Amino acid sequence: TTKSLRTATMDDARDSRLLSNRKKDEIRKKVYRHAFDQCQEEMQAFADCIRGRIFSAAWMCRQQNRTMNDCLHQYTSEEKIAEAIRLEARKGA
């Protein structure tokens, strides 16, 4: 199992090197756009909460902020971005 994990990690690193930094940046932006599309409701709830607040937003909108960040993170974690880069590299290979 350790050997197969090591081989998979080496394959991922090789696939990642096949793409230019510019292409990786484009993929990263695409992942973020997808996350924003998926989390519109949570982002709107946070925006509605902080509207008109200055200092109190930090504690009054904590839950909306946490909910929004949790939603975004499920689509934009390092693992998800690395997975998108791997998939793109394999398509081009």
At 53, list the tokens. 């607040």
Q: What is the 3-state secondary structure (H, E, C) of 22-87?
A: HHHHHHHHHHHHHHHHHCHHHHHHHHHHHCCCCCCHHHHCHHHHHHHHHHHHHHHCHHHHHHHHHH
For position 75, what pLDDT does the model report?
Answer: 96
CA 57 to chain centre: 25
Q: Is the pLDDT of residue 8 over 70?
A: no
Q: What angle do CA 86, 71, 77 make, to 5 degrees?
A: 30
Note the pLDDT tens digit of each residue in 10-65: 455 555 566 889 999 999 999 999 999 999 999 999 999 999 998 999 999 999 99
Tell me which residue has tokens 């909306």: 64
